[in-house]
């Protein structure tokens, strides 16, 4: 029994669930948990853990990634507790701990240390055994007496014992676990080959005149184990870079925070006890524990990992800070506005966890063929041994060993997920979150990019230039009424009106004189059109209740405005109330982004709900030839599907706020902007910063990723096509088979590791 199993009942406390789980809004009563799986070595292992989890009543779904060593489990709290389904993982012979466990780094260090010791013991013994085996290889007839040869065999046997008992421990443990559960993993044929080689060589040592006494294979065995352990240790180190990066992000939040009490003193409390409106003190070098605003002090903050902004940002009184960013300057006091799963940090972590567990189609195919392939390997090894047995039993056994070892499909199972995980990590560092790894494969094949306009090609910060109101209503009152509706929308225009109301009188210190927001009810938002609500007391009476609309002219039932200004209208049941003229700015890198896409052979289109003249003017400015304005969400969706029916592979780029249907219908999609609600975004990629050229970087990185995946798959296929016949015909000794197996897996991982950094070609021609 693993030590961690003793603590499983502690996870059944509902207060602990939020530390490693989140509630699933789409499935009431269900929780989604992320756990790190211990003891997995291959694709067959991941499928075994999945099957063990899915057999537990109350587990709704389970996904396990062999590349990231993580599992995502959705479970019904009314039917099963965490200790039960985690216990099922232990019962299957593996370990499981919460993904954000504080001791994950320490466990990885222990695992690396043990792997290094096993490799070192195997390497030392291999060198000594080779010294004892060398005389038998170079001696001429009569040079080596029978007694001396037997003594060298005995010495080799003694030196092989530590290798079998210590270095090979994980292989035999895994194989025994498989036998007990009547299944096959990639460790089983390897352990079987090791055991057969040791038994045959031991029999030859104790009975030199017997059936297997002609030759012993301790040198091949120790060399094979050393090469295999070396490959696994290097693979473990490389793979931990990805796991370590994710855990580093997840563990950015402090365990405890200094919260201000009612009497003004500060007490240290656990992070999960933090509540909205609490005031906390954050010292230099510490991470902000929640989303909030500064109420005392000013400092510099590092938001690089969360927004893609590489520069330190200034934050003063009233400045917003986000959980997971670091305080670089001075001690500050922060009033908490969002905690737990509501923070942007939690949403980013959820997206990264989701991506790390996603299985691309090619990886799913490798997982499906892994177990049948292993059974075929066992059959091929048995046939090879039977055919060669009558000539030389010892040679027949070693022939079977070579076949068992060389055909292990580790490289095939690692080819796709390792490359895509490395690429997703590189994109995350540059401010692009990958929601689905499969999207990288799809993005590499697109030939058309469709852009939305407002909040995508134009800046999210739209300014209010003028207000015109009905004679019986002051402009300030009209703005306050519009802000009352706008606060219930995330559209860039709504945010601009709300910000304009908040700024009214603030520069002159007269913010207290601005009209207050009015109470509204029955708020409804029509995507891309506007917001409507019932407003109380609009005509002066407390019981007065009117329907007010804020949005486009058609939405408000008004005639279309002149085609020269960007206008938003306010109306009630009696007609027009006010007109708000807005100004928007084109993103600084919009033209560079469009030109880079055109140079890469990608067709670019613009679809927008804004007026046709404004859309065409923007298209001409940044170099888009095909532009269409006045589009409703249904019009955008119809245009997108028309392009798809013509055979185009389309990527959609929007602000993630009112483009949900189009983003979901596109082959692949991007949500751009800091205002994107990550938990609800329909996009496959989320660009955290303000750089539109991240679309080009992601496209180029996706193409580069698929090149690496194809290289890995070709290498894995070529390796098996070349080495399997050599092993079957007896031309590949066991030690060479082990070297080939280790080298193939290592080559795949090293090739994928090139994707962990964006290459020069990925950012070539883009503004820095």
pLDDT of residue 702: 93
Q: Are residues 287 and 370 in the same domain?
A: no
Q: Are residues 467 and 387 in the same domain?
A: no
Q: Are residues 292 and 377 in the same domain?
A: no
**Shortest CA distance to 99 belongs to which of 2, 12, 1, 11?**
11
**Structure-block tokens of residue 219:** 């040198």
Q: Are residues 112 and 97 in the same domain?
A: no
Q: Is residue 183 domain-resident? A: yes
What is the band of 701 on the pLDDT scale with cuts at 50, 70, 90?
Answer: very high
Q: Is residue 674 domain-resident? A: no
Last residue of a domain, one of 583, 599, 625: 583
Segments forming the whole domain that contains residue 288: 275-338
SS3 content of the chain, % helix, strand, coil (to 5): 50, 20, 30
Contact assessment for residue 71 and residue 354, using Cβ atoms and an 8 Å cutoff: no
Q: Are residues 203 and 157 in the same domain?
A: yes
Q: Are residues 44 and 156 in the same domain?
A: no
Which backbone phi and psi does 759 adopt, to 5 degrees?
Answer: -80, 170
DSSP for residue 3: G
pLDDT of residue 5: 61
pLDDT of residue 646: 92
Q: What is the mean pLDDT of residues 713-725?
A: 81
pLDDT of residue 601: 92
Q: Are residues 360 and 298 in the same domain?
A: no
* Lowest-confidence pick of 274-278, 385-389, 573-577, 729-733: 729-733
pTM of the model as a whole:
0.61
Q: Are residues 362 and 392 in the same domain?
A: yes
Residue 252 to residues 179, 286, 352, Cα–Cα distance (Å): 41, 9, 14
pLDDT of residue 346: 75
What is the band of 492 on the pLDDT scale with cuts at 50, 70, 90?
Answer: confident
Sorted by sequence, the CB contacts under 8 Å of residue 657 that are 6+ apart come out as 455, 490, 491, 492, 675, 676, 677
Q: Are residues 130 and 208 in the same domain?
A: yes
Residue 417 to residues 67, 366, 374, 703, Cα–Cα distance (Å): 6, 10, 20, 15
* Lowest-confidence pick of 239-248, 382-391, 744-753: 239-248
pLDDT of residue 105: 62
Q: Are residues 388 and 496 in the same domain?
A: no
**278 catalytic residue (yes or no):** no
Digit-coded pLDDT (tens) for 595-625:
999 999 999 999 887 778 878 888 998 999 9
Query: What is the C-alpha separation between 69 and 71, in angstroms, rounded?
Result: 7
Digit-coded pLDDT (tens) for 74-122:
999 889 998 899 988 988 888 887 766 545 566 677 878 888 999 999 9
DSSP for residue 49: H
Q: Are residues 390 and 517 in the same domain?
A: no
Q: What is the mean pLDDT of residues 332-360?
A: 73
The CATH number covering residue 468 comes to: 3.40.1110.10
pLDDT of residue 636: 84
Q: What percent of the chain has pLDDT over 70?
A: 81
What is the band of 679 on the pLDDT scale with cuts at 50, 70, 90?
Answer: very low
The CATH number covering residue 12 comes to: 3.30.70.100
Digit-coded pLDDT (tens) for 287-321:
888 889 999 888 888 776 565 555 677 888 888 88
Digit-coded pLDDT (tens) for 726-743:
877 778 776 677 677 767
Active-site position among 452, 589, 655, 684: 452
Number of domains in the chain: 4
DSSP assignment of 713-760, as one string?
HHHHHHHHHHHHHHHHTT-S-HHHHHHHHHHHHHHHHHHHHGGGS--H
Query: What is the C-alpha separation between 153 and 74, in angstroms, rounded?
Result: 56
Contact assessment for residue 708 and residue 751, using Cβ atoms and an 8 Å cutoff: yes
Contact assessment for residue 294 and residue 333, using Cβ atoms and an 8 Å cutoff: yes
């Amino acid at each position: 029994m693993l030590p961690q199993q003793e603590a499983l009942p502690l996870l059944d406390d509902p207060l602990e669930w939020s530390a490693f789980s989140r509630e699933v809004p789409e499935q009431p009563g269900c929780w989604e948990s992320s756990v790190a799986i211990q003891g997995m070595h291959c694709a067959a292992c991941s499928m075994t853990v999945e099957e063990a989890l899915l057999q537990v009543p109350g587990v709704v779904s389970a996904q396990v990634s062999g590349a990231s060593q993580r599992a995502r489990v959705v479970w019904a709290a009314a039917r099963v507790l965490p200790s039960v389904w985690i216990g099922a993982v232990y019962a299957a012979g593996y370990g499981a701990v919460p993904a954000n466990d504080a001791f994950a780094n320490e466990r990885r260090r222990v695992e690396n240390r043990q792997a290094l010791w096993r490799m070192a013991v195997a390497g030392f013994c291999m060198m000594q055994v080779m010294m004892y085996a060398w005389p038998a290889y170079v001696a001429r007839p009569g040079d080596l007496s029978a007694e001396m040869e037997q003594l060298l065999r005995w010495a080799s046997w003694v030196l092989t014992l530590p290798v079998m008992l210590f270095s090979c421990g994980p292989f035999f443990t895994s194989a025994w676990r498989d036998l007990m559960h009547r299944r096959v993993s990639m460790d089983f044929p390897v352990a079987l080959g090791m055991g057969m080689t040791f038994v045959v060589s031991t029999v030859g040592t104790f009975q030199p005149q017997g059936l297997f006494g002609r030759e012993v294979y301790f040198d091949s065995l120790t060399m094979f184990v050393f090469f295999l352990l070396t490959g696994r240790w290097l693979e473990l180190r490389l793979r931990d870079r990805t796991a370590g990066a994710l855990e580093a992000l997840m563990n950015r939040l402090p365990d405890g925070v200094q919260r201000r009490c009612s009497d003004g003193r500060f007490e240290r409390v656990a992070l999960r006890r933090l509540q909205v409106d609490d005031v906390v003190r954050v010292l230099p070098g510490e991470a902000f524990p929640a989303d909030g605003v500064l109420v005392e002090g000013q400092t510099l903050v590092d938001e690089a990992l969360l927004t893609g902004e590489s520069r330190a940002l200034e934050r003063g009184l009233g400045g917003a800070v986000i959980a997971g960013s670091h305080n670089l300057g001075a001690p500050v006091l922060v009033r908490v506005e969002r905690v737990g799963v509501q923070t942007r940090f939690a949403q980013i972590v959820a997206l990264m966890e989701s991506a790390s567990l996603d299985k691309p189609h090619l990886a799913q195919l490798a997982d499906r063929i892994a177990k049948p392939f292993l059974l075929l390997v066992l059959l091929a090894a048995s046939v090879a041994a039977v055919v060669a047995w009558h000539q030389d039993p010892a040679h027949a056994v070693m022939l079977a060993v070579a076949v068992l070892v060389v055909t292990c499909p580790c490289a095939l199972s690692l080819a796709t997920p390792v490359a895509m995980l490395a690429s997703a990590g590189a994109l995350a560092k540059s401010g692009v979150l990958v929601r689905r790894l499969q999207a990288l494969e799809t993005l590499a094949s697109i030939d058309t990019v469709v852009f939305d306009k407002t909040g995508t090609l134009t800046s999210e910060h739209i300014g209010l230039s003028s207000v015109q109101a009905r004679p019986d209503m002051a402009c300030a009152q009209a703005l306050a009424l519009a802000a009352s509706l706008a606060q219930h929308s995330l559209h860039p225009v709504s945010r601009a009106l709300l910000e304009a109301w908040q700024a009214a009188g603030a520069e002159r210190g007269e913010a207290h004189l601005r009209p207050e927001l009015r109470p509204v009810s029955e708020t409804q938002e029509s995507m891309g059109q506007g917001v409507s609500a019932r407003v109380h007391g609009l005509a002066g009476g407390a019981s007065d209740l009117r329907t007010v609309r804020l949005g486009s002219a058609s939405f408000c039932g008004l005639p279309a405005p002149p085609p020269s200004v960007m206008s938003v209208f306010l109306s009630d049941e009696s007609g027009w109330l006010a007109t708000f003229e807005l100004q928007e700015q084109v993103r600084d890198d919009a033209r560079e982004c469009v030109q880079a896409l055109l140079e890469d052979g990608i067709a670019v289109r613009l679809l927008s709900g804004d007026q046709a003249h404004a859309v065409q003017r923007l298209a001409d400015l940044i170099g888009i030839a095909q532009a269409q304005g006045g589009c409703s969400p249904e019009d955008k969706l119809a245009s997108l599907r028309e392009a798809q029916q013509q055979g185009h592979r389309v990527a959609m780029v929007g602000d993630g706020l009112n483009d949900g249907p189009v983003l979901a219908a596109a082959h692949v999609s991007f949500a751009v902007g800091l205002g994107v609600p990550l938990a609800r975004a329909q996009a496959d990629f989320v660009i955290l910063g303000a750089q539109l050229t991240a679309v080009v970087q992601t496209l180029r990185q996706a193409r580069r990723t698929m090149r690496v995946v194809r290289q890995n798959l070709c290498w894995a296929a070529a390796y098996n096509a070349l080495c399997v016949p050599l092993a079957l015909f007896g031309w590949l000794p066991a030690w060479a088979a082990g070297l080939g197996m280790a080298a193939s897996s290592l080559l795949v991982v090293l090739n994928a590791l090139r994707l962990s950094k964006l290459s020069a070609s990925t950012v070539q021609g883009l503004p820095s």
